[in-house]
Structure 1
Amino acid sequence: MSSTPHDRSRTATADGAPRDLQDHIARLEAKGLLTRIDRPINKDTELHPLARWQFQGGLHEDQRRAFLFTNVVDGDGQTYDIPVLIGGLAASPEIYATGLGLPVEQIGKAWTEAIAEPVPPVMVEQAPCQEVVISGDTLKEKGLSRLPVPVSTPGFDAAPYLTATLCVTKDPESGVQNMGTYRAALKSENRLGVRMASRLSGAGGYLHWEKYRAKGEKMPCAIVLGCAPAVLFTGPQKLQIDQDEMAVAGGLMRAPVEVVRCKTIDLVVPADAEIVIEGLIDTDALEPEGPFGESHGHIALEDYNMSMHVTAITMKKKPVFVSIISQVTPSESSVLKKVAYEPLYLEHLSKVMGVRGIKRVVMHEPLTNLRKVIFLQFARGTQQAEVWRGLQGAATLQAQCGKLVIAVSEDINPENADAIFWSLAYRSDFTHDLHVTPYRTSGHGPKSGRAPLESTLLIDATLKHAMPPLALPKEQYMTAARKIWEELKLPSLTPQPPWHGYHLGDWDKRWDEYADAATSGGWRETGERTWANRRGGVKPETPVRDASGGHGE
């Protein structure tokens, strides 16, 4: 990490990644991707439900918006002078891409390059995130309650929760920092209840906590609330435990992230952060935390988790508080993962494992929590051995992902569940094309009645032999008919594949002649040809090719 005086011009990346959250907000607004809500909104009962409707109300993802609430109140009548941004990180892939200053289709490439070529951060002495410092008696009297922290799942959550967090911790042995997105419940003016996943493939911060506990020391932790989206995006991403996310964020931004040392603990945080909560986490005892609506789609019930004693809150003079829509998927939380995980899975299968024929990886989002169900799309004619290598690779890349992995051919849209069922129904024989492997960790999910281990289900639903064409009119006829539809001003169409017929390998050129004759009024000639080919001694529904030695005429 290098050191340089704070120079605002350095933080504006040459190729367009926002330098901080407020730069990002301005870009969203300029693109028409942000809605300002100026009327009073209760952060504890109205804010999250209002933003949630764009996921539960049947809107297409390109209709989702970021919301900036500028007049936030609570049930006690308190008003807040800090606006709240929700949906501003990843309500849609377009919003996420805006945070990187890139088109949506370049997100995967950006992640691959950032991980391969990280850019170390640079240290500055003065930072916007420390323009205001709250500590000591002021913190005890009015600390966390001055922040407009929403209740995420009104009616179930036990407290307002910090959700769009970057929890910064440091390995006490190597000195490498980790940044993870962990929930934190408000407990008092200067105490938080922090949950860091302890399961296999869980939180890097938890591994640090274990080391501090072994040393009999409290663990320093800084919770960053709002900064450059590229930095925030590293929190939910699953990187190697010993990889510094701040350097990967620099790779995403194509420029070093400016960082500053915290005021009360030995950690560094993004200099352009909106708000930073500094503190020490107990390692000798845990306290009850929860319930809270979790990203697996169920309420996480009360568990013993970590107590963090806040030592300081630092912020900009005019900060923006950021919250995230999580809980049932699709959600902002699932979009954050989906747009980054899918290209990384494809990169792993195609480049690291060298699986031939793999074209797409799609993680199923609605309700299933993204991690559980994965679809792999393969080129037609891919050898079955390669399909199975892909299935096994996808199921084992991350312990928490791939309970059910299904392979389909390239004519199947893996984002269309109906198409997946169609492929399963007609292209898989469950005696040969299904494999169950035991001893999988149960991963991220509700704990009620759940065993610690479960199984993995792999299914090859690819096209394994030639089949007749799909029974829809050919493309040219559907296209011509659509023009008539539009001329008649009938209801607007949103074509869903498959919307026209196409060949799947089992066809004879003679049948093209029949079809051409049918569309040009020549069906009588076809009748004459078939009459000439009459045959006795065959059973009804005998294929003509079978009775004719492979030839119809």
Structure 2
Amino acid sequence: MKADAPIPRHFGNLQDFVALLERRARLKRICEPVSLVHEITEIHRRVLAEDGPALLFERPVDGKGRVQPIPLLTNLFGTRERIEWGFGLETGRLPHLAALLADLREPQPPRSMRDAWQKLPNLRAALSMNPRETRRPPCQEIVWRGDDANLDDLPIQTCWPGEPAPLVSWPLVITRAPDDPADVNVGIYRMQKLGRNRLIMRWLAHRGGARHHRLWKALGQHMPVAVVIGADPATILSAVMPLPDGMSELSFAGVLKGRRQETARGVTIPTPVPASAEIVLEGTVSAVETAEEGPYGDHTGYYNSVEPFPVMKLTAITMRKNPLYLSTYTGRPPDEPSRLGEAMGELFVPLVKRQFPEILDLWLPPEACSYRAMIVSIDKRYPGQARRIMMGLWSMLPQFSYTKLIIAVDGDIDVKSWRDVIWALSTRFDASRDVMLVENTPIDYLDFASPKSGLGGKLGLDATTKIGTEVGRDWGQVLTMTPEVTAGVDALWSSLGLGEAGR
């Protein structure tokens, strides 16, 4: 493929995607030995801040000074461009994926024959959802069983000073319900290395993996689990997308690729895994054993508190020949998760517009840990509408239940422009009238600013123009130039010698 060839919709595996990035000069190979303890994090942090390339460390060095034979890949999705390419989209095409996701969540009947033809790709996508099992997958070309399954042979990072042990930071954790093999979940939960064959599985109580674990625990059984480290980009990105409830991430990866996802059964567990995965950790999560996890640097920019989580014991490690180990770090934005969160936020917009047609745009600033603050613009038509929208958003999606602050503005405000938002707050907001405080609501338990773990308040600020019974005095008129004068100056501009900026 030439460097300027179109982005393929389907990447067979992670290494196909890496090869594309290298051809397009979006990958940098690091041949020098670099320590897994802190150094890779610091290099990654500096490169990401400059919108730099993905990084492939060919000689990662562990804490004992040993050069690990498996290369480490990081900053894979550190720019919006690479995120879109991972979805199989050309640059700037992410809104088209948002429309597809809205159709899958809430299908709309075609309004005409033309509309039916336009919806045909969505139907084809839906038919690509059921995975297809294969018996000789690349992810099992190499198999380490039992005592040979040694985590010391993987280049696991230690990201920040003061952390107690290396951390698997980009795992796709695949679990299933004990009574329904079709109930499969893929989540990303960091995993602390406890030893050569044990890890701590850190998940939040509301996540799919934790739900499955409770079902297995109720039966008094250890839960089989597969941990994928490195997969084709569609599978990785499916694990971080706001999918409809009940839709498997493995199935949705088939939608993104336009073909059925190929899976394989684990060699020691009955859990399905992507056939083209780089590395797979197989094992069981204990029904009884827990261990203290942390403290680790998190997306909040702080270290988390130490808390107990269940322990996973390995039964096997499988991998393809010459695999790559995918890794990242989390910290105060910008980091790779916040770049992903910023792109994923755009996928929410069509969903919320269907629920609330008066919403014009919505923004989750990545600086606010990707979900703790939101700015929403509305087409305001009646008193109290901004408050209704705030309450609706807090209860609409699980991702929004942890949003602490919503600022509502009018349609003339660019939700992504702080200059616009602060102007609206300064001229359309009054603290005695336009504050909505909701107490004792669900809050991210990682947010230690809340008065109680997992329980805190939410704040809504109505910075919209006040209408009807909302105001008892004349409201100001926004300054605007007449269209005639604007057009006249546009025509005159090139003769003024003032450059292109004003044009």
Query: TM-score normalised to the size of structure 1?
Result: 0.77
**Aligned ranges 1:213-232 → 2 under 5 Å:** 213-232=217-236
Of the three residues 84, 95, 104, the one matched with 1:97 is 84
Fraction of identical pairs, as percent: 27
Of the three residues 50, 64, 72, the one matched with 2:52 is 64
Shift of 1:112: 4.8
2:434 maps to 433
Residue segments in structure 2 that go unaligned for 5+ positions in a row: 1-5, 106-125, 467-474
**Aligned ranges 1:414-453 → 2 under 5 Å:** 414-447=415-448, 450-452=451-453, 453=455
Between the aligned partners of 1:442 and 1:362, the Cα distance in structure 2 is 19
Whether contact under 8 Å (1:25, 1:34) holds in the other structure is yes
SS at match of 2:162: coil
For residues 119-146 of structure 1, what are the alpha-carbon distances to aligned partners after superposition, in whole Å with 9 as ceiling and x for unaligned?
A: 111111111100000112322xxx1111
**Aligned ranges 1:151-550 → 2 under 5 Å:** 151-153=158-160, 155-175=161-181, 176-198=183-205, 202-344=206-348, 346-351=349-354, 353-356=355-358, 358-366=359-367, 368-379=368-379, 382-396=381-395, 397-398=397-398, 400-447=401-448, 450-452=451-453, 453-464=455-466, 467-469=477-479, 476=489, 480=493
Between the aligned partners of 1:315 and 1:478, the Cα distance in structure 2 is 64
Shift of 1:389: 3.4
Shift of 1:326: 1.8
Task: Note closer, same or farther for the CA distance 1:75–1:239 as it changes in structure 2 (3 Å cut).
Answer: same
Shift of 1:98: 0.8
Between the aligned partners of 2:18 and 2:495, the Cα distance in structure 1 is 40
Between the aligned partners of 2:486 and 2:371, the Cα distance in structure 1 is 37
Between the aligned partners of 1:70 and 1:126, the Cα distance in structure 2 is 28
Whether contact under 8 Å (1:343, 1:361) holds in the other structure is no
For residues 376-410 of structure 1, what are the alpha-carbon distances to aligned partners after superposition, in whole Å with 9 as ceiling and x for unaligned?
A: 1235x654554443322222222543211112233
Task: Note closer, same or farther for the CA distance 1:479–1:393 as it changes in structure 2 (3 Å cut).
Answer: farther
Tell me the amino acid that sits aligned with residue 86 of structure 2. G
Between the aligned partners of 1:125 and 1:451, the Cα distance in structure 2 is 50
Identify which range, 93-102 or 394-403, moves more after superposition. Answer: 394-403
Task: Note closer, same or farther for the CA distance 1:427–1:301 as it changes in structure 2 (3 Å cut).
Answer: same
Between the aligned partners of 2:382 and 2:419, the Cα distance in structure 1 is 25
1:9 maps to none
Between the aligned partners of 1:410 and 1:36, the Cα distance in structure 2 is 45
1:76 maps to 64
Task: Note closer, same or farther for the CA distance 1:103–1:410 as it changes in structure 2 (3 Å cut).
Answer: farther
SS at match of 1:457: strand
Whether contact under 8 Å (1:169, 1:222) holds in the other structure is yes
Tell me the amino acid that sits aligned with residue 394 of structure 1. L
Task: Note closer, same or farther for the CA distance 1:27–1:410 as it changes in structure 2 (3 Å cut).
Answer: farther
Whether contact under 8 Å (2:30, 2:55) holds in the other structure is yes
Task: Note closer, same or farther for the CA distance 1:458–1:213 as it changes in structure 2 (3 Å cut).
Answer: same
Shift of 1:347: 2.0
Tell me the amino acid that sits aligned with residue 376 of structure 2. L
Whether contact under 8 Å (1:298, 1:445) holds in the other structure is no
Tell me the amino acid that sits aligned with residue 75 of structure 1. G
Identify which range, 310-319 or 330-339, moves more after superposition. Answer: 330-339
Matched, 1:135 2:145: yes
Query: TM-score normalised to the size of structure 2?
Result: 0.84
Tell me the amino acid that sits aligned with residue 271 of structure 2. L
Between the aligned partners of 1:400 and 1:444, the Cα distance in structure 2 is 12
Tell me the amino acid that sits aligned with residue 48 of structure 1. T
Task: Note closer, same or farther for the CA distance 1:35–1:282 as it changes in structure 2 (3 Å cut).
Answer: same
Between the aligned partners of 1:91 and 1:16, the Cα distance in structure 2 is 20
Whether contact under 8 Å (1:87, 1:332) holds in the other structure is yes
Shift of 1:448: 7.4
Tell me the amino acid that sits aligned with residue 50 of structure 1. I
Matched, 1:25 2:18: yes
Between the aligned partners of 1:447 and 1:243, the Cα distance in structure 2 is 32
SS at match of 1:406: strand
Task: Note closer, same or farther for the CA distance 1:299–1:480 as it changes in structure 2 (3 Å cut).
Answer: farther
Task: Note closer, same or farther for the CA distance 1:101–1:260 as it changes in structure 2 (3 Å cut).
Answer: same
SS at match of 2:214: helix
Task: Note closer, same or farther for the CA distance 1:470–1:52 as it changes in structure 2 (3 Å cut).
Answer: farther
SS at match of 2:288: coil
Whether contact under 8 Å (1:237, 1:337) holds in the other structure is no
Shift of 1:334: 1.7
